[in-house]
């Protein structure tokens, strides 16, 4: 394509392609546990990375619309929706280049987050400067309230995090809530499809405390994580908690590697 900045368009085409590619099936460890206990995954509900982003995006729209309609906090009118949506699209992209790959939610540590940050930098390295800066800022939003990650990142990233904490703390908390809510929605839908409590019970074990802590940090989230809803989920988890012990007993007897979806990045422009 004569007369066109090929480096610009090659980088654009590569990134345009990559964000549409599924590189993993989420909740794969739960799927294997479900199969261990039930002997079948015939009715299992898979969620790919692209589906995860689509679900988060829709949850964000519904959540923001509800907050605005109820007008329960003056900060709602100043929410940076563009920043939040960009974070949703990019928050897992660093896993593709991370040396650790996909790490289970409950096992995620600060050094995994650091590896994903550098993975994201590699992913967007050839994009225009304005996009690169905006992407880094959006990606870092998810670490605003993870102080243990800050010290592992370069000075520039720490300055960005400090600025985000001072000006966009609400957006960071809303993103955390949306991530937790997406897990709950997945668990509930999987339970309806399979008729089995296994996945929902594990997810609730991981999510209830995190949501409680999030409400302590940002009381606005209690609009969605009400005490009645919490009690209903807690009761469900306690009623089915024996399934967690059963899985712990049998999980060492049958191990399978997680499924990762490979893809090739295109840098060609037709």
Higher pLDDT pick, 28 / 231: 231
Distance linking the first and last C-alpha atoms of the chain? 8
The rounded distance, in Å, linking the Cα atoms of 208 and 213 is 9
Options 2.40.50, 3.30.450, 1.10.3470, 1.10.3210; which CATH number does 9-253 get?
Answer: 1.10.3210
Exposed / middle / buried, residue 161 (Cβ in 10 Å: 0-12, 13-18, 19+): buried
Closest CA to 93 of 263, 268, 267, 270: 263
Residue owning tokens 């712990």: 248
pLDDT at 210: 95
Mean pLDDT for the stretch of residues 178-185: 96
Residue 200's beta-bridge partner residues?
none
Residue owning tokens 């109820």: 70
Total residue count of the chain as it appears in this document: 270
Q: What is the pLDDT of residues 182-235, one digit of tens each?
A: 999 999 999 998 888 989 999 999 999 999 999 999 999 999 999 999 999 999
Q: Are residues 122 and 97 in contact, defined by beta-carbon separation less than 8 angstroms?
A: yes
Residue 127 C-beta-side C-alpha neighbours within 13 Å: 18
Q: Are residues 94 and 116 in contact, defined by beta-carbon separation less than 8 angstroms?
A: yes
Q: What is the pLDDT of residues 110-150, one digit of tens each?
A: 888 888 898 899 989 999 999 999 999 999 999 999 999 99
Q: What is the pLDDT of residues 92-113, one digit of tens each?
A: 887 766 555 666 666 667 888 8
Q: Are residues 8 and 180 in contact, defined by beta-carbon separation less than 8 angstroms?
A: no
pLDDT band at 265 (very low <50, low <70, confident <90, very high): very low
3-class DSSP assignment, residue 48 = strand
């Amino acid at each position: 394509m004569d007369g066109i900045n090929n480096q610009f368009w090659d980088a654009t085409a590569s990134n345009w392609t990559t964000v549409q590619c599924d590189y993993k099936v989420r909740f794969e460890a739960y799927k294997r546990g479900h199969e261990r206990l039930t002997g079948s995954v015939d009715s299992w509900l898979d969620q790919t990375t692209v589906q995860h982003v689509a679900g988060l995006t829709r949850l964000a729209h519904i959540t923001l619309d509800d907050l605005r309609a109820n007008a329960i906090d003056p900060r709602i009118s100043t929410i940076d929706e563009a920043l939040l949506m960009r974070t949703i699209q990019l928050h897992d992209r660093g896993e593709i280049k991370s040396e650790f790959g996909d790490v289970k939610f409950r096992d995620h540590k600060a050094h995994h987050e650091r590896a994903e940050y550098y993975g994201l930098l590699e992913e967007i390295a050839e994009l225009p400067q304005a996009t690169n800066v905006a992407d880094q800022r959006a990606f870092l939003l998810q670490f605003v309230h993870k102080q243990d990650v800050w010290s592992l990142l370069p000075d520039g990233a720490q300055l960005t995090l400090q600025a985000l904490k001072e000006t966009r703390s609400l957006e960071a908390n809303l993103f955390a809530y949306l991530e937790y809510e997406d897990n709950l929605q997945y668990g509930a839908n999987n339970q309806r499809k399979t008729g089995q409590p296994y996945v929902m019970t594990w997810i609730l074990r991981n999510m209830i405390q995190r949501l409680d802590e999030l409400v302590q940090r940002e009381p606005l989230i209690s609009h969605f994580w009400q005490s009645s809803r919490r009690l209903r989920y807690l009761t469900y988890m306690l009623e089915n908690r024996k399934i967690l012990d059963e899985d712990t007993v049998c999980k060492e007897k049958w191990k399978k590697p997680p499924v990762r979806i490979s893809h090739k990045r295109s840098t060609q422009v037709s």
